[in-house]
Structure 1
């Protein structure tokens, strides 16, 4: 159901109904790319059945699906077509096209080639946990997740999101776990990680299918390298990769999750998979945040900053003397009066 998650905090004032979200998403339903359209993006039924709802409510968890279709047009093909058009013009006029004309030819070549280009589709799942005021995006990169967030904020009236930040930096916590071999309660360290230096060399050391409780890893950490990825397992139920930007990648549900679970019928598979995934991850995410020192409270931090004593204004030279002298109505007005 989910492979990668970026976790966002939803503002407390956003409390829509499923029906309201359905109506708002219906304004941007997915439509395949037109003949000369390079990309199309829109919402589609999460269940994968035509004309099904655009939002599914599974046990109080809301699921959406964004579909993105792109026309695959290699740059080398466009370049060759542009050069052919430029050569034809040069043969007819005796003059080689300039920069502006070449740019126009490139745009023309793209438009002519697009209808013949293949298309590829990808889908991004969005999971909203309204009771927890969380929104998760199953995206492989931060840039793709931000693209989805921009669309969500545009489509869903009143939605306010911010990427969850923890009190302790994930890289700092991962380094401590690797150094002393003691991860948070309920978590264990697996056999994969990436360490990167912060200097200009940006040296990288990767371990795969390798024990990490070794002196070599601790030496890298002591030498200034910081973890950027660390494979972990939560309560022998879910394995995942934690990154230094608090992305949860490579999510995999382990055998313990499926014990005693009957194989669902085809029509019920979506509901069963969604219930399993949201049920497990809805417990994992808060425990992971707690293991990273808890969620950074922006409101409390702002209030504390506002409560700090404000620095006194620096007195201008001679100000004390002027204040001590009695006011003189005959004195010349100050230049700023």
Structure 2
């Protein structure tokens, strides 16, 4: 259901209203790119059913889905088309187009090629917990997540978001856990991490499928290399990779029942309830392990 999460706290001034949310999302439905359009974006039904609800509520947890479509125009193809236009002008008029004219030719080339360009679609699931005032976007790309949050803030009166911020930075906490070879309560450290130097050389050490309770890991930290990501598990029920930016990547539910439910792709409600149920318990524990949330300014 979710593979990566970027976490936000919803401002307390917003009053959750599922009906109002549905109406707001309906003002920006996804529409495929027209022949001359490079990109389009909007909301689609999370269940994937045509004309379905744009906001689903299961066990008091809300799920939305943001979809984008882009026409793929490789720079090399555009450059070739521009060169063809330049050669035609030179052949017909005997002059070589200048810089400004070449920029105009580039715009013309894109318009010529767009109707024939392939399209690529991406969908991002958005989990909203109205009671906990938490919003999570299933992405590891901050730019794409920003496009989603911007659309929500514009559509919903009084809606405001801030990236989840903890008193202890993930990097400082991961350094302590690895140096002391002790994970926070309820968590375990798995066999993967990356350490990077802040020096100009940007030296990095990566461990994969390797125990981390070895002497060289604290030695690297003492030498100035800091963790940028660390694989962890919670209660032997959820595994993830924690990043220095407080993103969760490669999320997976570990229990047998969870794995069985994951295989049942058509059981939307069960999957959503299962994932949000586990994560609603794990995330407060992780925030506590990071010293609690930073008070709002």
Class of the TM-score when normalised by the shorter of the 2 chains: over 0.9
Describe the shift of the 1:188–1:266 C-alpha distance in structure 2 as closer, same or farther (beyond 3 A): closer
Question: What is residue 87 of structure 2 aligned with on the other side?
Answer: 87
Work out the CA distance in 1 between the residues paired with 2:262 and 2:150: 38
Q: Do the aligned partners of 2:229 and 2:243 also contact (CA within 8 Å) in 1?
A: yes
- List, as ranges, runs of 4+ consecutive aligned residues in structure 1 with deviation greater than 4 Å: 261-267
Report the CA distance between 1:155 and its aligned residue: 1.2
Kindly provide the CA deviation profile for residues 262-290 of structure 1, in whole angstroms up to 9, marking residues without a partner as x: 799775x0001100010001111110000
SS of 2:69's partner is: strand
Q: Do the aligned partners of 1:236 and 1:256 also contact (CA within 8 Å) in 2?
A: no
| RMSD after superposition | 1.5
Describe the shift of the 1:161–1:22 C-alpha distance in structure 2 as closer, same or farther (beyond 3 A): same
Structure 1: 5+ residue runs without aligned partners? 300-337
Q: Do the aligned partners of 2:192 and 2:207 also contact (CA within 8 Å) in 1?
A: yes
Q: Do the aligned partners of 1:237 and 1:257 also contact (CA within 8 Å) in 2?
A: no
Q: How does 1:1-337 map to 2 (within 5 A)?
A: 1-258=1-258, 269-299=267-297
Report the CA distance between 1:16 and its aligned residue: 3.0
Q: Do the aligned partners of 2:16 and 2:130 also contact (CA within 8 Å) in 1?
A: no
Work out the CA distance in 1 between the residues paired with 2:257 and 2:20: 34
Higher strand share: 2
Report the CA distance between 1:151 and its aligned residue: 1.2
Work out the CA distance in 1 between the residues paired with 2:121 and 2:228: 30
Report the CA distance between 1:257 and its aligned residue: 4.8
Report the CA distance between 1:68 and its aligned residue: 0.5
Q: Do the aligned partners of 2:6 and 2:137 also contact (CA within 8 Å) in 1?
A: yes
Work out the CA distance in 2 between the residues paired with 1:212 and 1:247: 21
Structure 2: 5+ residue runs without aligned partners? none
Work out the CA distance in 2 between the residues paired with 1:257 and 1:215: 37
Describe the shift of the 1:19–1:298 C-alpha distance in structure 2 as closer, same or farther (beyond 3 A): same
Work out the CA distance in 2 between the residues paired with 1:136 and 1:263: 19
Work out the CA distance in 2 between the residues paired with 1:200 and 1:225: 12
Q: Do the aligned partners of 1:90 and 1:96 also contact (CA within 8 Å) in 2?
A: yes
Compare CA radii of gyration and give the structure with the larger one.
Answer: 1
Compare relative contact order (CA 8 Å, sep 6+) and give the higher one, 1 or 2: 2
Q: Do the aligned partners of 1:237 and 1:256 also contact (CA within 8 Å) in 2?
A: no
Q: Do the aligned partners of 1:33 and 1:69 also contact (CA within 8 Å) in 2?
A: yes
Q: Do the aligned partners of 2:261 and 2:270 also contact (CA within 8 Å) in 1?
A: no
Work out the CA distance in 2 between the residues paired with 1:48 and 1:60: 20
Work out the CA distance in 2 between the residues paired with 1:24 and 1:147: 16
